[in-house]
């Protein structure tokens, strides 16, 4: 496992909330191997694609008929929401844990431009890919927010396929 | 956009050999600059970054920007 002491220095809130490294950096620039995916693709559960709405060959951006209200190559929050809607997510009021659902948090900077996405885990934690670097687990959506990613401003959720909900008596 | 990236884009076609040589060694996010300079997206339709890289390198060889 690599030395990840740089992480709390860049993401200042993680020092207080704590975090775990889920997977080592997937890119290896010394051997010309890129990261196979970025934070948005990771939040969407895709590890062989780089999701960004730039309209350039090699990058992936899902377009589902009728879901995009902006041109698909614009960096807007609505466009990011539409991308996750196209893979089955619906709007959610918050990032609170819900049995049987996985959630996605979308982040914007202080200019309102999307910067990052994180996905909830079944245990109530969240996971993020940090640029081309490590995948981490963090306790709340806010813990990865701050000067780099801004803050989470939109949440979406979808049912986890095959999940058996807990029964309470 | 990083100022250094903008400077490279401003070099125009003179930058293509350097960008493509770098792309031979490693994947980096050169595709925006390549599309801007070449005025076409050679990687259009590629399903991932590595596929786009191969398309751009093949184009670069054909255009004799790289060997």
For residue A37, count CB atoms less than 10 angstroms from its CB and return exposed for 0-12, middle for 13-18, buried for 19 or more.
Answer: buried
Cβ contact, residue pair A58, B48, below 8 Å: yes
A10 part of contact set with chain B, CB < 8 Å: no
Enter the ipTM. Answer: 0.77
User: In this complex, is the C-beta atom of B57 within 8 Å of any C-beta atom belonging to chain A?
Assistant: no
Mean pLDDT to the nearest integer, A32-46: 81
Using CA atoms in the order A126, A11, A82, A160, what is the torsion angle rounded to 10 degrees?
Answer: -10
The pLDDT value given to residue A15? 87
Give the model's pLDDT for residue A126: 97
- Across the interface, whether the CB atoms of A58 and B32 are under 8 A apart is answered no
Radius of gyration of chain A (CA): 16
Q: Give the span between the Cα atoms of A123 and A108, in whole angstroms.
A: 25
Min Cα distance B22 → chain A (Å) is 10
| Chain B neighbors of A50, CB-CB under 8 A | 48-49
Q: What is the pLDDT, as a whole number, of residue A28?
A: 47
| Of residues A48, A50, A56, nearest to B35 (C-beta) | A56
pLDDT at residue A31 in the model: 45
Contacts of B1 in chain A (CB under 8 A): none
Joined together, the tokens standing for residue B34 give 């390549």
Q: Categorize the per-residue pLDDT at A163 as very low, low, confident or very high, splitting at 50, 70 and 90.
A: confident
Dump pLDDT digits (tens) for A54-91.
Answer: 888 989 998 766 655 555 678 999 999 999 999 999 99
Is A61 an 8 Å CB contact of chain B? no
Please state, as a whole number, how many other Cβ atoms lie within 10 Å of the Cβ of residue A152.
22
Contact A72, A55 (CB under 8 A): yes
**Paired tokens of A76:** 């807007």
In chain B, whose CA is at the least distance from the CA of A41? B48
Contact B41 A48 (CB under 8 A): no
A47 touches chain B (CB under 8 A): no
Check CB contact of B23 with chain A, cutoff 8 Å: no
Comparing A35 with A43, which gets the higher pLDDT?
Answer: A43
Question: How sure is the predictor about A133, in pLDDT bands with cuts at 50, 70 and 90?
Answer: confident
- To test the contact with chain A by mutation, choose from B31, B34, B49, B54 the residue with the greatest count of A C-beta atoms within 10 A, namely B49
Give dist(CA B51, CA B60) in Å, integer.
14
Q: Check CB contact under 8 Å for B31 and A48.
A: no
């Amino acid at each position: 496992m690599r030395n990840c002491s740089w992480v709390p220095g860049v993401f200042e809130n993680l020092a207080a909330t704590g975090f775990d490294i889920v997977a080592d950096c997937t890119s290896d620039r010394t051997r010309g191997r890129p990261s196979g995916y970025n934070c948005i693709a990771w939040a969407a559960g895709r590890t062989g694609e780089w999701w960004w709405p730039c309209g350039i060959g090699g990058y992936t951006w899902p377009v589902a008929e009728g879901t995009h209200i902006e041109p698909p190559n614009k960096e807007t929050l609505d466009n990011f929401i539409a991308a996750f809607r196209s893979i089955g997510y619906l709007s959610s009021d918050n990032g609170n844990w819900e049995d049987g659902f996985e959630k996605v948090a979308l982040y914007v900077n202080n200019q309102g431009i999307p910067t990052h996405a994180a996905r909830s885990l079944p245990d109530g934690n969240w996971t993020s890919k940090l640029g081309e670097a490590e995948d981490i687990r963090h306790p709340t959506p806010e813990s990865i927010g701050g000067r780099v990613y801004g803050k989470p401003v939109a949440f979406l959720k979808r049912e986890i396929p095959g999940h058996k909900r807990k029964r309470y008596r | 956009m990083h100022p250094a990236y903008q400077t490279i884009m401003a070099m125009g076609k003179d930058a293509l050999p350097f960008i493509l040589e770098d792309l031979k060694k490693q994947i980096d996010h050169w595709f925006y600059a390549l599309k801007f300079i070449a005025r076409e997206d050679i990687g259009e339709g590629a399903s991932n970054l590595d596929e786009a890289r191969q398309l751009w390198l093949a184009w670069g060889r054909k255009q004799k920007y790289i060997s």
